[in-house]
Chain A
Amino acid sequence: MRQDRPYSNIPGTYVLDPQHSMQGYELNMFCMSLNKPQNRDKFRLDEAAYLDDFPLTKEQRKAVLSRDWLGLLQLGGNIYYTFKLAIFDRRNMQYVGGAMSGVSEQEFTDMMIAGGRPVEGNLYTSEEK
């Protein structure tokens, strides 16, 4: 499968393309399982035991347990799925956005109120500081 794609040079972006989808299927389906209240209860009771039912890689398992929000994406996760884990934690999108980009929830919220992350410097990896 083709690895180098026209969108590969967009900075800080993990596209759910075929490669990513194959890598993250089980991880994303674990996240999906948290849509059901009875599963949320089971996960709350014993996170590690709950994860035993999903064939995750060691790295994926660790990223779930340690809430490594950026790592989850790098290991095949997609934000609409990983955000279900954030909902479980009662975290909002500003918290997760901050965690993935290395700032606090408040700093991230302030950036959005000021108009969001700017276009300049953020279109191509080659223009990253």
Chain B
Amino acid sequence: MANLFAGVGTSHVPGIGAAVDHDKTQLPYWKPLFDGYGPAREWMEREKPDVVIIVYNDHASAFSLELIPTFAMGVAAEFQPADEGYGPRQVPVVEGHPELAWHICESLIMDEFDMTIANKMPVDHGLTVPLSIMCGQPEAWPCKVIPLAVNVIQYPQPRGSRCFALGKAIRAAVDSFDEDLKVAVWGTGGMSHQLQGERAGFVNEPFDTAFLNDLTADKERLINIGHTEYMREAGSEGAELVMWLIMLGALDKDAKEVYRHYHVPASNTAAGLIILENS
């Protein structure tokens, strides 16, 4: 049977991807951030998940205001890096896992989560930057990927409690997949940041630290953080953190923290990373 063994939470700042692509990771500005990614990459190499479900948001690449799915899962065999205005990132094509993805979609919809199913979905930095963070610059990504795009740009975004419940339903779906696969879920985005307006550059380290702590210490508090609290306390773009709650919902109740890293700034963002493992 498929085994969902771990979760990762990580920021997906485009500048991090650009630093990798343009060989800037050892510059003084970026080095402290990338030094902290070292142990996470070692973990990834050691654990070798077969499939990673990457929960991320599309930034006006595959979707736009024309069509705004709250939860969209990619069931294709491959996903091309999107052109976000610079030309596509020169990173490997993302390979999907159609059988598991379809199984999850079917299971979720029967479980009353009415998913949007995507057979064609270019993937932007929201998905490819976490791969660069965890895997560096391989010839091909070392795992299959199932993209789960969440609307966090158009208000109202899905509530934290709904995201957590979706995570639980994803877990049930993976548990019932009849093939020996090692599966991880990554929740991406955040941590505190605000890209827009006169308050651009807002960062709230105490909020982020409490969030990282409560992924193991007080899930109930995190699940109940509302839209306004995210926007006010974590910055208007900090509401991306609801995507970490999908990852959290997919894990055992007593999943353990095995690694964390936090650094300000990555571009205009507080960058965080955490690895949680089921026992």
Contacts and interface: CB of A to CB of B under 8 A. Distances in A.
Nearest to A84: B85
A11 B199 contact: yes
A65 interface: no
Given A73-B196, A80-B59, A116-B203, A13 B83 contact: no
Contact of B265 (A14, A96, A116): A116
A23 to B, nearest CB: 12
Interface of A: 5-7, 10-18, 21, 25, 28-29, 31-32, 34-37, 40, 70, 73, 78-81, 83-84, 87-88, 92-94, 96-97, 100-102, 108, 111-113, 115-117, 119, 122-124
Given A79-B196, A112-B264, A7 B201 contact: no
A32 B64 contact: yes
B153 interface: yes
B153 A101 contact: no
Given A7-B227, A29-B64, A119-B204, A113 B197 contact: no
A91 to B, nearest CB: 11
Given A25-B65, A40-B85, A81-B60, A15 B204 contact: no
A93 to B, nearest CB: 5
Contacts of B198: 11-12, 70, 100-102
Given A13-B236, A21-B65, A113-B265, A97 B201 contact: yes
A101 B201 contact: yes
